[in-house]
Amino acid sequence: MKKFLGTITAVLIAAVSFAQITISGKVVDKQNRPLQNASVKLRNDGKKEKAVITNDQGFFEFSNIDSNTNSKLIVQYVGMKTYEENFAATENKSFNIVLENLDYFLEPLEVKSIRASDKSPFTKTDISKQQLDKINVAQDIPFLLNQTPSVTINSDAGNGVGYTAIHSWHRCNPYKCYA
């Protein structure tokens, strides 16, 4: 009887250990370049969730997954569309996942500027590299421009490093503006 129970126990342990499956795969972009640190989630029966990130070659792996479960694989990467696939976890499975770029539609931006000439009808200050080198004492850029006309600077810490700001302003009344 002891041999029979021992045999039954060994068979059950072997059956349970073989019932565990592995889900693995590789995540790449459209140019077939591996995507490192992509977020990969596996949901089993809508309850349990496991998460890993891809390695340097874009590979991921989930092991010890219960067999005969309804699973959902979700792959996310910054700037790429999310990949989702539902499947039944009945056997070891390997995925080859190609993520598509996420298109952002932005309005075209055009930056226009002019350089004031010497005969321009407004105040301007040209600062040379040599002048900047003389006054540069490792402070932020607003402090380098402190002595130019119509410029006001401030620093939260008061030492010119960190959170600094520059403002160009004019005091105006209905008849005259003061720089």
Per-residue pLDDT at 65 exceeds 90:
no
pLDDT band at 59 (very low <50, low <70, confident <90, very high): very high
20 and 84 fall within a common domain: yes
Would you say 148 and 123 are in contact if contact means Cβ atoms under 8 Å apart?
A: no
Per-residue pLDDT at 159 exceeds 90:
no
Q: Give pTM, 2 decimals.
A: 0.51
Contacts 24+ apart (CB under 8 A), 117-124: 123/149, 123/150, 123/179
Is 45 part of any domain? yes
pLDDT band at 9 (very low <50, low <70, confident <90, very high): low
Per-residue pLDDT at 110 exceeds 90:
no
The parent domain of residue 55 ranges over 2-98
92 and 11 fall within a common domain: yes
Summarize pLDDT for 134-150 with one digit per residue, the tens: 877 777 877 777 777 77
33 and 73 fall within a common domain: yes
Provide CB contacts within 8 A for 148, sequence distance 6+: 125, 127
User: CA 140 to CA 160: how far, in whole Å?
Assistant: 6
Per-residue pLDDT at 13 exceeds 90:
no
29 and 68 fall within a common domain: yes
Give the domain-ending residue among 76, 98, 120: 98
Is 120 part of any domain? no
Is 105 part of any domain? no
Which DSSP state fits 147? T
Which DSSP state fits 100? P
Mean pLDDT confidence for 89-96: 90
Per-residue pLDDT at 80 exceeds 60:
yes
Residue 76's nearest CA partner among 100, 48, 106, 103 is 100
91 and 163 fall within a common domain: no
36 and 87 fall within a common domain: yes
Domain count, the chain: 2
Token pair listed for 72: 């959902």
137 and 81 fall within a common domain: no
Would you say 45 and 66 are in contact if contact means Cβ atoms under 8 Å apart?
A: no
pLDDT at residue number 5: 60
28 and 75 fall within a common domain: yes
Token pair listed for 56: 């340097």
